[in-house]
Chains A and B, each alone.
Chain A
Amino acid sequence: MAEKAKFKCLRCGHEYEDKYTPKVPQERTCPKCLSNSVRRIEEKRKA
């Protein structure tokens, strides 16, 4: 099931929300700088 998750670009630092399916790797592109170094920010890390 696709859900929403927060992502952070490790190139430009841009944070955004996108669709996310657990355990299904997906090619991601930062909407701001077009880098693929996009990391999902897990909820626990925010706290």
Chain B
Amino acid sequence: MMDAGRHQNLTLLAYSEVEHVTGYIGNFNVKIRKKARYVNEDECTACADCVESCPVSVPDEYQQGFSSRKAIYIQLPQAVPSAYLIDMDNCLGNNPIACGKCKDACEKECIDFDMQDEIIDIEVGAIIVAAGMDVYDPSEMDEFGYRSYENVITSMEFERLICAGGPTEGHFVRPTDYKLPKRISFIQCVGSRSSKNGNKYCSNICCMNTIKDTLLLKDHYPDVQSKVFYIDIRAFGKGFEDLFMRSKESGVQYIRGIPGDVWEDPKTKNLLLSVEDTTIGKVQVHESDLVVLSVGVEPRKDMKKLQHLLTLSNSVDGFLLESHPKLKPVDAPTRGIFYAGCVESPKDIKDSVTQASAAAARASIILNAGKVEIEAITAIIDTDKCNYCGVCARVCPYNAITAPDRKSGVYPTIIQAACAGCGTCASECVQDAITMRHFKDDQIIAQVDAILEENNMDKIVAFACNWCSYAGGDLAGTSRLQYPTNVRLIRTMCSGRVDEKFIIHAFKKGAPLVLLSGCHFADCHYISAVTWTQRRVERLWNKLERLGIRPERLQLEWISAAEGQKFAKVMRELEEMRKKVTDKEVKETMEILAKDEEKAKAKKAKQAAAG
């Protein structure tokens, strides 16, 4: 932190919040609110004279509420800059000044009650999101007695109690009697790997954190007996197994089983844990002086706000979704934005540092190059066809299209560096004013024609997105899974590219069955493009029904790159459905759609004649 604060190429804006981000890769504009500290951070020497004079006392968040702080305070001892700030929510008041004792005490006259928030606008080429995570709050669960018993604490609270800079200056005591607990029980996976409480995922760091804690206790207090209650110990990193073995050899008892109940002896305030040791299949009761809940981590509470700010999406677990889980694990789907640390997934310090280094390197590539190479699959607007409706700008998941203005004759423009080529704009534009390079309408329609040219009744036309469904088909193939050979895939970058007219065209050309497949909502490689696919399919189902065509003949499926099995299963099911579509039904559909097309043409001609 100190190095970061001193580095000549780094500007550290502490106690600040990003309020608005516009622009695109290489050209982001960021609006930052630098909050008023009410203390001149350049002049403050952190002498603490002000602190002694402050009459306000509130629980210290950093010390997990085990001690108190004043309204004028430093958030943590290692904070950079090392300067005080006034927590105005708890200060007796600055307008008018109700107390002012800190100001009187400060010889350097650093305190300014009139200080205002400052708005800073900066231009940056790349953004690294390292906003961290939150810790699971076990208050919602009752079985471990966290709400009821003082001697049940979380692993975060344990950290503060054993830390030399903590509320007890490193003297480890339990909350009820301030005495050293001789028997300590750690309960693993609290709020993790559970479909009942907390989160379904493994929080990654808790096993090693507990192993570290048990060794720390052995170092400081050799007589303390530690027990760890676990589902399984996940010590998978470099040197982790050694550390686990050291913990076991030092006498820490590892018991495979999570306590079902924890209750307190009202006299001694000791805790009793009822647990089934699954290695021997017996229910036991263990007595402890202190219970530590090894709590998991979870996405920040304000994650949605962060996502909205930077146009990002999240994976099923709520952490930020990367551009590609294997090939671009540091990149956000929005180009020019990178991730570092737990904002992307739970990870330990080493992994966070690795990802942060990678993110810095990825960002420096952009900054050093000074120009951005884009794939030739972006959108182009034909202003001759555009009628200023603005749908393209509204549906673009990347905000890559500027909104048009009919009054002043301003057409929408596509920021090529920001366009990812999903094609949602082209599919939603009813004027056909948008062309997707290499995925043009006529190129896709030509594929539909080629598929249905011969033996149309035997074919299933399937549109598959590049990243998930098409890759799922690849996996089915490389895994040698059996599925009907009459499915014909048309690859688009995203299911968002599949225009209503491609599907109607397929039916018009005699397709018995059409499949539209894309990524699962949580895996969408184009942020939210898949939601527009869903809307479009729902619209199409209604249209087909209105025309007297069975909506069932248009099938929708979300298939991920890892779901080769699902791909094969869906294809087998579709083949069964296809067999039931009769020649008569297909011919009727073709007639209905031909008539509908004639009607639409006549309507258009009438409108054109009317001016």
Q: Given the known inter-chain contacts A10-B541, A10-B551, A11-B577, please indicate yes or no for A37 contacting B531, CB distance below 8 A.
A: no
Question: Do the beta carbons of A35 and B541 come within 8 Å of each other?
Answer: no
User: Which residues of chain B from 486 to 532 have any CB-CB distance to chain A below 8 Å in the complex?
Assistant: 520-522, 531-532
Report Cα–Cα, A10/B520, bound state, in Å.
18
Question: Do the beta carbons of B531 and A25 come within 8 Å of each other?
Answer: yes
Among B531, B538, B555, point to the contact of A11 (Cβ < 8 A). Answer: B555
Q: Given the known inter-chain contacts A10-B541, A39-B541, A39-B551, please indicate yes or no for A27 contacting B558, CB distance below 8 A.
A: yes
Cβ contacts under 8 Å, A40 to chain B = 538
Among B520, B535, B552, B570, point to the contact of A27 (Cβ < 8 A). Answer: B520
Say yes or no: is B557 at the interface (Cβ < 8 Å to chain A): yes
Determine which residue in A10, A26, A36, A39 has the highest number of CB atoms from chain B within 10 A of its CB, and name it. A36
User: Which residues of chain A from 1 to 47 have any CB-CB distance to chain B below 8 Å in the complex?
Assistant: 10-11, 25-27, 33, 35-37, 39-40
Determine which residue in A33, A37, A39 has the highest number of CB atoms from chain B within 10 A of its CB, and name it. A37
Cβ contacts under 8 Å, B555 to chain A = 10-11, 35, 37
Question: Do the beta carbons of B535 and A10 come within 8 Å of each other?
Answer: no
Report Cα–Cα, A35/B571, bound state, in Å.
12
Cβ contacts under 8 Å, A27 to chain B = 520-522, 534, 558
Question: Do the beta carbons of A11 and B573 come within 8 Å of each other?
Answer: yes
Q: How many interface contacts (CB-CB < 8 Å) are there between A and B? A: 39
User: Which residues of chain B from 91 to 118 have any CB-CB distance to chain A below 8 Å in the complex?
Assistant: none
Question: What residue of chain B has the Cβ atom nearest to residue A33's Cβ?
Answer: B573
Report Cα–Cα, A8/B554, bound state, in Å.
14
What is the minimal beta-carbon distance from B541 to any residue of chain A, in angstroms?
5
Q: Given the known inter-chain contacts A10-B541, A11-B573, A25-B534, please indicate yes or no for A37 contacting B556, CB distance below 8 A.
A: yes
User: Which residues of chain B from 535 to 576 have any CB-CB distance to chain A below 8 Å in the complex?
Assistant: 535, 538, 541, 551-552, 554-558, 570, 573
Cβ contacts under 8 Å, A35 to chain B = 555, 557, 570, 573
Report Cα–Cα, A27/B552, bound state, in Å.
18
Q: Is the interface of B mostly helix, strand, loop or mixed?
A: helix
Question: Do the beta carbons of B552 and A10 come within 8 Å of each other?
Answer: yes
Report Cα–Cα, A10/B531, bound state, in Å.
19
Q: Is the interface of A mostly helix, strand, loop or mixed?
A: loop
Report Cα–Cα, A40/B535, bound state, in Å.
12
Question: What residue of chain A has the Cβ atom nearest to residue B536's Cβ?
Answer: A25
Question: What residue of chain B has the Cβ atom nearest to residue A24's Cβ?
Answer: B531
Report Cα–Cα, A36/B534, bound state, in Å.
10
What is the minimal beta-carbon distance from B517 to any residue of chain A, in angstroms?
9
Over the window 569-600 of chain B, the binary record of Cβ atoms lying under 8 Å from chain A Cβ atoms (1 yes, 0 no) is: 01001000100000000000000000000000
Determine which residue in B541, B555, B556, B557 has the highest number of CB atoms from chain A within 10 A of its CB, and name it. B556
Report Cα–Cα, A37/B515, bound state, in Å.
10
Question: Do the beta carbons of A36 and B552 come within 8 Å of each other?
Answer: no
Report Cα–Cα, A43/B577, bound state, in Å.
27
What is the minimal beta-carbon distance from A40 to any residue of chain B, in angstroms?
7
What is the minimal beta-carbon distance from A18 to any residue of chain B, in angstroms?
15
Report Cα–Cα, A33/B555, bound state, in Å.
13
Cβ contacts under 8 Å, B554 to chain A = 10
Report Cα–Cα, A25/B558, bound state, in Å.
14
Question: Do the beta carbons of A26 and B538 come within 8 Å of each other?
Answer: no
What is the minimal beta-carbon distance from A33 to any residue of chain B, in angstroms?
8
Cβ contacts under 8 Å, B535 to chain A = 25
Among A33, A36, A39, point to the contact of B538 (Cβ < 8 A). Answer: A39
Question: Do the beta carbons of A36 and B556 come within 8 Å of each other?
Answer: yes
Report Cα–Cα, A29/B229, bound state, in Å.
37
Report Cα–Cα, A35/B572, bound state, in Å.
12
What is the minimal beta-carbon distance from B16 to any residue of chain A, in angstroms?
33
Report Cα–Cα, A40/B538, bound state, in Å.
8
What is the minimal beta-carbon distance from B547 to any residue of chain A, in angstroms?
15
Question: Do the beta carbons of B521 and A26 come within 8 Å of each other?
Answer: yes
Cβ contacts under 8 Å, B558 to chain A = 27, 36
What is the minimal beta-carbon distance from A24 to any residue of chain B, in angstroms?
8
Cβ contacts under 8 Å, A11 to chain B = 552, 555, 573, 577
Report Cα–Cα, A11/B534, bound state, in Å.
16
Question: What residue of chain A has the Cβ atom nearest to residue B517's Cβ?
Answer: A36
Report Cα–Cα, A27/B559, bound state, in Å.
12
Which 8 pairs, one residue from A and one from B, show the smallest C-beta to C-beta distance?
A: A25-B534, A27-B521, A25-B531, A10-B552, A37-B556, A37-B555, A36-B558, A36-B557
Could you list 5 further interchain pairs (A-B, Cβ under 8 angstroms) beyond the known A36-B557, A39-B551? A10-B541, A25-B532, A25-B534, A27-B521, A35-B555
